Chains A and B, each alone.
Chain A
Amino acid sequence: MRVGGVGTLGLTLLVVLVASGILAPWIAPYPPDETTGAPFTPPSRMHLLGTNDVGQDILSELIFGVRISLTIGFLAAILAISIGTLAGVVAGYFSGWVDATLMRLVDIVLVVPFLPLMILLAAYLGPSFWNIILVIGALVWARPARVIRAQVLSLRRLDFVDAAVALGASSGRLLLRHILPGVLSLALAQFILAASNAILIEASLSFLGLGDPTAKSWGSTLYYAQARSAFLSGAWKWWVLPPGLLITAAVLGFAFTGFALEEVLNPRLRR
């Protein structure tokens, strides 16, 4: 499969997931938080993916879960990329001690074992929708910051930047008009990779019981399946398998799209 094929596959996965999230109230067979059958019902025509321990329809839960999982992944990635782009541009442009300080910070964030740190922060802040986004965003920014800094460093050596300096452009104007547009496409690719990362991390945190208790993501569904030992009975085939496949599909969708975009946007990777 060539780059185009990978990208198309990734985008298709994403479009299907986003569409089912938007259309959730119309395509989900039942309200996800109501008891609509007997507990632990195997898949049937009434409940295509069976029911959980309190008789809620699992298919409906997963369709509504798209909203939570993708929204958290999306917002956390936006936060991470905003911090990462800002840090990368500032570090690359101003160099000197600003650069040294920021890059030290990046190295610290990259060395610390990230999941234990996120667990610690999430446990203190308390499980909520926004806290999860905050915690993920606060730690995922480091890698994009490094990539974007490298891009800024090579942009600064280009003639048109020198020309703008010679014409007396201020730092602010240089950054906004000349440097920032040059890193935006790279930031987009990094955003997509950060989103795939964020979805996986959100699933882990929710699975460890640190997710928002009022909004069930795919990770939370697996948390309840684990807490009720679904994998010890036949229930794992409809309670454990589908949410994991959905997480994998979403992460792959973002990863493929980001991979293809990076190949297209970064000429150094092309051969």
Chain B
Amino acid sequence: MARFFAGKGVQYALVLLFAVTLNFLLPRMMPGSPLVFLVGEDVGFMSADQRAQLIHAFGLDQPLWRQYVIYLAGLARADLGHSFQQGRPVLEIILGRVGWTVLLVGISLLLATLIGITWGTAAAWRRGRRLDLGSLGAAMLLESMPSFWLAMIFIAVFAAGLRWFPVFGAMTPGAGLRGWPQMVNVAWHLTLPLATLTIITIPGMFLIMRYSMLSVLGEQYIATARSKGLAERGVMFRHAMRNALLPVATVFMLNLGYVVSGATVVETVFSYPGVGRLLFEAVLARDYPVLQGTFFVLTVSVITANIGADLLYPLIDPRVRHAR
């Protein structure tokens, strides 16, 4: 078990190293002065003295490996640089946004998993029949739709057309709501982005659950349970579904990168003030430090979630718990 974690640990460390090194190299490998990417276009209007000062401050006159050490030391102090546009530390900006993304991604992952698992179980149980084939087709159709397009259609129909939901934002600005009314307001704004993100996440969960169920249904203990005369429903949920869930737990975490990507476009369309929308705003403003900081923070969150899943996994799978 320790070995299992050591292997995984190396894996996550490598992912982190990849993200950090990429962030370090990108501004320095582009043609032209790296200062343009680190400080902004204003560099062009500075005097030679000012520029030399900045080059020294960023350590750009040092050999590349020293620059890397300086960069890593900065990261260790949680220094992600300063935004061109807002002049504030990048980390501060991201922390101000992260709550909204956690809310959106967290709830939609939960919903999509519950729906996907139930749907996948039901489809596998009726393998090859109309419900199963129809579900497969529907899942493939949902997977093929661009998420941002689905979001736009939802806004056009449910927000602009029927006026059931707000068009953009996470809460009504300047309404001065507190307590319960504020929560209702937040939930009201959350509904459409949440629905979009959940709908595009369900097919992945459904396909895995269906596949996992199909392989479990071929096992002998299912036949045994049936021959004992247990009710079909009991066999389906108590015997088959519980065992089929194990691989789904792993994929749940692997899907996180996918859901975070989905959140980026969904937040963009709904102007939802999360980290994904921040990424889009940074692209528009060519705010490179914010772009890099956001990418870094998203990568760290995905890794953290993966580690969390590895720690939780033994709790749900006794085989891993006892294999020492």
Contacts and interface: CB of A to CB of B under 8 A. Distances in A.
A208 B268 contact: yes
Given A208-B265, A208-B280, A123 B291 contact: yes
Given A120-B292, A236-B153, A111 B257 contact: yes
A237 B160 CA distance: 13
A240 B265 contact: no
Contacts of B133: 1
Contacts of A252: 140-141, 144
Interface stretch (A60-68, A77-85, A102-110, A152-160): A102-110
Interface residues of A, number: 45
A113 interface: yes
Contacts of B153: 231, 236, 240-241, 244
A130 interface: no
A209 B150 CA distance: 18
Nearest to A196: B144
Interface stretch (B108-116, B118-126, B175-183, B296-304): B296-304
B160 A232 contact: yes
Contacts of A174: none
B286 interface: yes
Given A113-B302, A123-B283, A252-B141, A207 B265 contact: yes
Contacts of B295: 113, 116-117, 119-120
Interface residues of B, number: 56
Interface stretch (B13-21, B41-49, B80-88): B13-21
Nearest to B268: A208
B15 A112 contact: yes
B176 to A, nearest CB: 26
B143 interface: yes
A243 B150 CA distance: 12
Interface in B238-294: 254, 256-258, 260-262, 264-265, 268-269, 279-280, 282-284, 286, 288, 291-292, 294
Interface in A244-267: 244, 247-248, 251-252, 255-256, 259
A248 B147 CA distance: 10
B149 interface: yes
B25 to A, nearest CB: 10
A124 interface: yes
Nearest to B287: A123
A107 B144 contact: no
B30 interface: yes
A144 to B, nearest CB: 17
Listed from nearest, the 6 A-B pairs whose CB atoms lie closest are A115-B261, A244-B149, A251-B144, A231-B156, A236-B156, A113-B257
Interface of A: 1, 104, 107-108, 110-117, 119-121, 123-124, 196, 200, 203-204, 207-210, 219, 222, 225-226, 231-233, 236-237, 240-241, 243-244, 247-248, 251-252, 255-256, 259
Interface of B: 11-12, 14-15, 18-19, 22, 26-27, 30, 37, 133, 137, 140-141, 143-150, 152-153, 155-156, 160, 167, 254, 256-258, 260-262, 264-265, 268-269, 279-280, 282-284, 286, 288, 291-292, 294-295, 298-299, 302-303, 306
